[in-house]
Structures are given as structure tokens and as C-alpha cells.
Structure 1
Amino acid sequence: MNKRLTISEIARMAGVSTATVSRYLNGHFDKMSDETRTKVQQIISDTNYHINLQAQSLKNQTTHLIGMVVADIENIFSSILFKGSDKVFEQHGYQILLMNSDNSIKREHNQLQRLLDLQVDGIILQPISTDPKNYEFIRIADTPIVIVDRKINQENWPEVSTDNYGYSKVLSELIIRMGYKRIITISEPLSDNEVRMDRYQAVQDAAKGTNVIVDRIEIDTETTDDFIYSQIMKKTDALKSKSVIYALKGTVLMRVRKLLSKFHILIPKDIGVTAFDDWDWAQLMQPQITTIQQNPKKMGEKSAEILINILSGNPLSQKTVLVESELKIRNSLID
């Protein structure tokens, strides 16, 4: 059909009101029978009808665009997070603009400002900083925002995360019960990252009152394998003490695994290995790695659902939503 159909014409063909078609197109099915929903869907499919988003945006003063800014687009966490959100937003007629801050506060600011300039209806943000001053311009713009995975101190925005401290403490207590004398965390710098701090603090708290030594190795993109190896050897008395490496992030686990293989260090014979992971790739390694398994897909879905509720004017039932993770015990630890 060359002529663009209107909602009124779709309603006439389906034998329903224009208000019913409008509710269907906006994903509001709560007061719609299955029969009516099926009928409207069939007419839309048969006529290949598409919403004129530009006209709808002008009428409603909305863009049907959602901005998502992630800290590291190369991290599998970001891809799965996006997939979870995208699924929900698609069902409600929204499109996501995915931005990468590349772990840079300056780049993050620029990406957020671009989204505000595009007049997105809302934003999902995996923040770089915990300092609310860095996000004052978003509050002033009054654009709805949901924080995911991390925290911003003293801000009243809704958050979707996991219990990083709680799960990390459970894993640490398991390590201690298995007789390990040293726990060495390996991560990117802990400063100004609430998630890493929570995970590391849990290790320290679990070790209080025991003879277990807790230490850490901080790395970045410039850190060499030789340096990490030398630190591991130093902190484990050349592998003589019963020690375990705890990678605080999935990508760090991948690097640790490659490094240990490179220097012919056996897991778990020479050293134990665990991680707070973002994806189930740890079970593909040999030996399989004991991890805390996050659910970024569910976190993405929850973030999208909360933002849609905000845009629909519905009150929030809770400010912070914790998505369950799972401790997966495999054979990278030894009694």
C-alpha cells in the first residue's frame, strides 16, 4: 500500500476504537482482551502498518529514544546488559542509543551531553564516578535516569545492581573454610569504584579474626604480565603458601587465566582461582573456575522496566533493586 494508513483506519478495519489501537501501539494491554489484542495485531501485520514516530514525537513532545551509557563496551557485561534492556524497550516502542564512556569521566560527560542534546526520553547509566557533582547537569536537565551496576553517592536516582558485598563475602568465607591462608584480589584500581570497593571490603571483613592474609594487586592496561607474575610470586612466598587469586571482574579473570598458563602455574595445584564474573565463560576453562555469576540480562530488563514506569508517570515501589547472582562452585579450588 502506497498511502500511509492512519490509526483511525486501522481502528475501523479492526472494528475497535482509535483509543484501543493507540493503547495497543503504546504497549498498554492491561485493559484489553486477548481477542481484541489479537485482532488489532492481525490488522497491523496484514497492512504492514508502522507508527509515524516523527509525528508522534511532535504531538507528545517525546522522541521514543533512550540513551544507554556503559563504562566499557568491550566488556561482555555491557553487551548482555544492552540486550536485556533492548528487549523490553522494543516491546514499548522505544529505541536505544548505546554510548561508550571507555572508563573516562570526560568522555562520559560528553556522551551524556550528546544524549541530552538529542532530547532522549530517558537514560540508563553505568557511571564512572561516585561523585554526584559530575552528574549535576543531568539533574538540572530533569531527564529521567536509572543507574545500573554501580552507585552515585547521595543521589536519589533509582539503581539496579547486585549485592556485591554479600556475594563476595560468601565466596570469601568459602575460601577460608577450604583452608587457604592468603587471598590475593586482582582488579583495576579500587578508588572511586563502589563495586570493586564493596567486593574487596567483603574479603577483608570475612578474614577478620582469622589468620588469613588479604592482599591486592591493582592493574591497568599498561600493567605487564611480568609485573603481575612477580607480584603473585612475592605475595604467595613463591607459591609455597596455600593461596587463592580472586579476580574482581570477568575480564580480569581472563587475563589471570592466560598469565598463569603462560608462566606454567597450575590451577588449583599451585594456586586457587575464583572470580566475580559477568558471563558463564568460566565453565569453559580447564579447570572450570569457581565464580559468582551475575545476571546482566536481568539487570538490563529491570532497568528498562523502571525507566518505562517513570516515563509512564507510575510511582516507584523501591529506589534500589538487587538482582540475584549465583555462587557457582567448580574445581578451581582445592581442600
Structure 2
Amino acid sequence: MQTTKKKKRPTIRDVAALAGVSVATVSRYLNGKTNKMTNATAAKIKEAIAKLQYIPNPAAREMSHNKSMIVVIVVANVADYFSTEIFKGASRKLEAAGYVPVLLDSGADQSHEKRILNSVNIHGFDGLLFQPLTSDTALIQSELTRHFPVVILDRELKRSPWPQVVTDNYQAARNATRHFIKEGFQHVVVLSSTIKQASTRQERYQGIADSADDVSVIEIDENHFDRDQVYQQLASLLDQQQKTMLFSLKERWLLEFLPRLMQDGLISQSNTRVTGFADTSLIKSICPYAQVISQNPAYMGERAAAVLLKMLKGDSQEIDDIVIKARFAGDESAEN
């Protein structure tokens, strides 16, 4: 049986030999550094590459540049639309700059996030966009031991060594609460994942607490919760004899419980105001009279990616944190 000999893949040395130049000259050409070579030399190299059908070895080029051209994006929970939109927005910006974005999901699990960061420490990523579960700066520093460009997303860390891109959570929650209190809705039922775990929730809750005197809180463990039990808690607090504001600090929980609350007649336009932080138009589809606080996670991802790209280019100047304003549906000034 006759075997077919596999054709040898052409190397950079083969290109140099055919073009009659040095390997270093071919390398400069491949890296776009043609300003110090003549047009004739560049043309010869281009012709040799085409004739040999030479394809550069990406791994070898990465080693020579000490770059992988890969950026890792670690999000809190892909079950949340917010996290996936962050990735989409960041990806558009990174891909346009020639980087490959890789998505890793903490799954709202602190121990899993730690394992992910350990992996990030030892792999050759050029940079990190990070939506951490915790707001504990010291804890993150102890787990993220690698020194490379990092941008924090959606968390405001105290004494953070990294630039941050965040929403004006406190002000947005405060404005919405005051708006409904003026309408006579004095009782606030706050629905949230564990508040102390993330700075976003702490700030949102504080904005509510600083504006209302009558606040009830239902906290939910994202990984371990009984839907019926949470629903019963909500049902007991949504007293139709009292004007009540249902304020969800996370869109997921309105999507989870609002349809059933409306079906059971526990939400009414006359005695209930439905609000919270939302990233889609789904809440309005479920409850047309809901007035939510809209965020733009894709834009947040884009802005964070722009900051990271600036750092990857070696810009060592101090970069200010970026605060992106949320838009409250009941705020007429937001239309301007």
C-alpha cells in the first residue's frame, strides 16, 4: 500500500530564503513594522508568502510578543441577563481591537469564583474584566494574585487598586423611592439577593432606607431558596389595604414572582407600585404600569473594555472610575 507523504508546512525561514532577506526582516513585515524597509523588499516578502502559502504560527508570535491576545471576562451569574449583556458589550469592543474574549461564570458561588480566579492566575490571559460576587477588596486581592490589567465591573470596591465601571445605584434607588412616596406609597417591600454580599445591593438598599421609614426586606440565597416560601412572604407583605411599593434590587426576582403575584390579584395598579433595577423590557410586558430603573449592561461592558484596552497599550496614567447613570421611568428629566 502506497502512503502519501505529508507536505511539510512552510516556515518563516523558507519565506526569508525565497525572498532573499533575513528572518528578522520577514518577522518585522509580519508584525506590520514596514516603515524601515523599502517597498521592493516588502513586495518580495509578500510574493514569497503567497507563493509558499505560508501561514504564521500564532502561538510562536504570541511567545515572541509575550501576549496571548486573549482577555478573560468573569461574570457573577450568566443566569442574569445583566451578566451576559456585559459580555456582549465588552466582546464587541475587544474583538474590534484584535482580542479574543473568553467568558467564565462564577455562578453566584463564592467558592467557584475562587477556583476561577486561581485558574486566571496561572493561564496566559492578557487582561481581566471582572464582575465579582463580593465587595471585599482585600479578599479579591488575596485570590487574584497575578499582576496584569484588571477592570472591575458593576461593583464599587473600597480602596480598589483597579479602575471600576459602575452604576449610580444609590442615587437611582433614592430617586425612585422618593418619587413613589410622593404618590402616597409609604410601605416598601424590598426583594433582593443577599444584600451584604455585593456593593450594588448595599447601595441600592441604602438609597431606599434613606428615603423611606417603612421598609420590609426579603433576602434570597440565589443558589438555595424555596420559591413557595418566598412567595408566601411576599403575599403576606403585599397588603392590599396599604399602599405598597414592591422594589426589586435585581430584575431576576421580579421575573420570578411578578406573574404569579398578578395572577393571584396581589398586585393592583391602585394600591401597588412595581419598580426595581431592570435590564430588559420584560417587566413592562408582564406589568404595563411598572416603572423600572433601566440599566445598560452592554454599554457598561463596552466602557470597561475601552478602559482595559487603554491599559493593555501601556497607558500607566491614573484612570478614573466611570459611573454610568441609570434611567428611572418615572423621572421626566431622564427624557432630556
Q: TM-score range by the shorter chain?
A: 0.7 to 0.9
Q: Does 1:109 align with 2:121?
A: no
Q: Does 1:92 align with 2:93?
A: no
- SS of the equivalent of 2:148 reads coil
- Counterpart of 2:206 (choices 201, 204, 216) is 201
Partner of 2:334: none
- SS of the equivalent of 1:246 reads strand
- For these two proteins, the number of residue pairs brought into alignment is 299
Q: CA deviation at 1:202?
A: 0.3
Provide the aligned C-alpha RMSD in A: 3.1
Q: Does 1:228 align with 2:226?
A: no
Which residue identity lines up with residue 312 of structure 2 in the other structure?
A: L
| Structure 1 residues not aligned, in runs of 5+ | 10-16, 25-42, 331-335
Which residue identity lines up with residue 56 of structure 1 in the other structure?
A: R
Conservation of the 8 A alpha-carbon contact between 1:84 and 1:298: yes
Q: Does 1:215 align with 2:216?
A: yes
Q: CA deviation at 1:274?
A: 0.6
Conservation of the 8 A alpha-carbon contact between 1:66 and 1:95: yes
- Deviation digits for residues 30-61 of structure 1 (CA, Å, limit 9, x no counterpart): xxxxxxxxxxxxx9xxx899764312211111
Range with bigger deviation, 48-57 or 163-172: 48-57
Partner of 1:36: none
Partner of 1:160: 165
- Deviation digits for residues 296-320 of structure 1 (CA, Å, limit 9, x no counterpart): 0111011111111111111345331
Partner of 2:290: 289
CA gap of 1:283–1:20, structure 2 versus 1, over 3 A, is farther
Aligned pairs for 1:1-335 (under 5 A) are 22=31, 52-137=57-142, 140-207=145-212, 212-221=213-222, 222-236=224-238, 238-316=239-317, 318-329=319-330
Q: CA deviation at 1:87?
A: 0.6
- Deviation digits for residues 247-284 of structure 1 (CA, Å, limit 9, x no counterpart): 11110110131230342323323422111112232232
Conservation of the 8 A alpha-carbon contact between 1:88 and 1:305: yes
Conservation of the 8 A alpha-carbon contact between 1:267 and 1:273: no
Distance 2:197 2:158 in 1: 11
Conservation of the 8 A alpha-carbon contact between 2:245 and 2:274: yes
Q: CA deviation at 1:5?
A: 9.2
User: Identity over aligned residues, as a percent?
Assistant: 25
Range with bigger deviation, 174-183 or 112-121: 112-121
Range with bigger deviation, 297-306 or 311-320: 311-320
- SS of the equivalent of 2:155 reads coil
Q: TM-score, normalised by structure 1?
A: 0.79
Q: CA deviation at 1:195?
A: 0.6
Conservation of the 8 A alpha-carbon contact between 1:278 and 1:294: yes
- Deviation digits for residues 128-157 of structure 1 (CA, Å, limit 9, x no counterpart): 112233223465421221100013332211
| Structure 2 residues not aligned, in runs of 5+ | 1-8, 19-25, 34-45, 332-336
Distance 1:20 1:88 in 2: 26
Distance 1:173 1:51 in 2: 61
Distance 2:195 2:96 in 1: 38
- Deviation digits for residues 69-123 of structure 1 (CA, Å, limit 9, x no counterpart): 1110111111111111111111111111111111112111111221222211111
Which residue identity lines up with residue 163 of structure 1 in the other structure?
A: D
Conservation of the 8 A alpha-carbon contact between 1:183 and 1:246: yes
